[in-house]
A and B are shown apart, each in its own frame.
Chain A
Amino acid sequence: MTHGTAAVAKVDSPRSPYARRKTTRGNYELYSWVFMRASGVVLLVLIFGHLFVNLMVGEGVHAIDFGFVAGKWASPMWQVWDLLMLWLAMIHGTNGVRTIINDYATRDVTRGVLKGLLYLAFAVVVVLGTLVIFTFDACPPGSPAELLPSFCTA
């Protein structure tokens, strides 16, 4: 062993070893990225099914009226379907629009106001839509029977 190499061996590595920076803001953006992809796949099935049943079957859009909705929501399957579609589409859409606001609204105030409006719209629509599904009354008293589904009089 020569004097020289011993000296070299003592020299510290010039750079500090790689250490992952501890993230201080959490993994929110990562989760949102994953969520956009996972919810997209589920939404594809839910929305295509929704559009097919409401626009393609029978008379399509002309078949829709109060009785049509009552008939669908009499089945727990469609209640769950619509509930999932409501929540997933609203979270996916709100998250997507949030990204777009972040991209284009450069002034802090503008961005804050737009996001405030966005979250307000989200809350109102999700709460209202959920209440509508669960408090729906297929046979409201006092309504003309011809507007109601046939099972109301049966």
Chain B
Amino acid sequence: MEINILEEFLEVCDEKIFRCINCGVCSASCPISKFMELTPQRVIFYLINNKEEVLTKNTIWLCASCLNCQARCRKDIDFSRIADALRHIYLREMAKRKLLSELEIDKIKREVLVNSPQQLFIALQRKFVYY
């Protein structure tokens, strides 16, 4: 993708990633980490080392913003905000290149879509649509 991911990140998010001591407590407390290609702690590690691959790993789409990690991180880092920022960087980059893949509503089960609470549906849009 060739973007300077660290620079882009620092422009949109003030989460103090350089404080991270890479202890891995976030990854250990994350209820979703089992499904992630990179655990939260490794995403931060990649980010600090300016590795743009973080954008193509599923982690940024999987973080449910449950803040379990935030409550436990002794360096007061909120990973959900990092994931949010990376997601937006990705979506904006794709939009710039006119590659924006639309959220595939058709793939979502109909009964889930129809019965789910409004709050949840708007959250979904907030996560997958770019600003």
- A interacts with B: no
The interface of chain A, by Cβ under 8 A from chain B, is none
